[in-house]
Amino acid sequence: MNVTFIQYPACGTCRKAKKWLTENKIPFTERHIVENTPTRAELTEFYKKSGLPLKRFFNTSGMVYRELNLKDKLPTLSEEEQIQLLASNGKLIKRPLLITKGTVLVGFKEEEWENEFK
């Protein structure tokens, strides 16, 4: 299975998720979310593949999200504008992202990840 793990090394949740992947012997390709931020096309694909609301892709607890006052601005932006905003700064994207052939998981919920690899 081809698995891509998009993460930010300084993020505790990302480190926990990486440890989980390693302990469960799941091979993955690692990608730094800030140094190699997903493109608009990739984010559009991830969003559609995930089946999640676009808002779930935003790191709502991050400093950049708060600095840009996105809590109030997001509802006024179109889907395309939101995707463009995500593509403009990797720190706006909720992490980690786990991309498999069939789905995209946003954030690390161990139960969700276990279900993906049963």
pLDDT surpasses 70 at 30: yes
Show the DSSP H helices in 68-109 as ranges: 70-73, 79-88
Closest CA to 38 of 85, 73, 81: 85
What band does 28 get if pLDDT is binned at 50, 70 and 90? very high
Class of CATH domain 4-109: alpha beta
pLDDT digits (tens, 9 = 90+) for 64-100: 999 999 999 999 999 999 999 999 999 999 999 999 9
Report the chain's mean pLDDT, rounded to a whole number: 96
Question: pTM here?
Answer: 0.93
Per-residue pLDDT at 2 exceeds 90: no
CA–CA distance, 26 with 54 (Å, rounded to integer): 27
Q: What is the rounded average pLDDT of the residues 11-39?
A: 97
Judge whether residue 1 has pLDDT over 70: no
Q: Would you list the domain boundaries of the chain?
A: 4-109
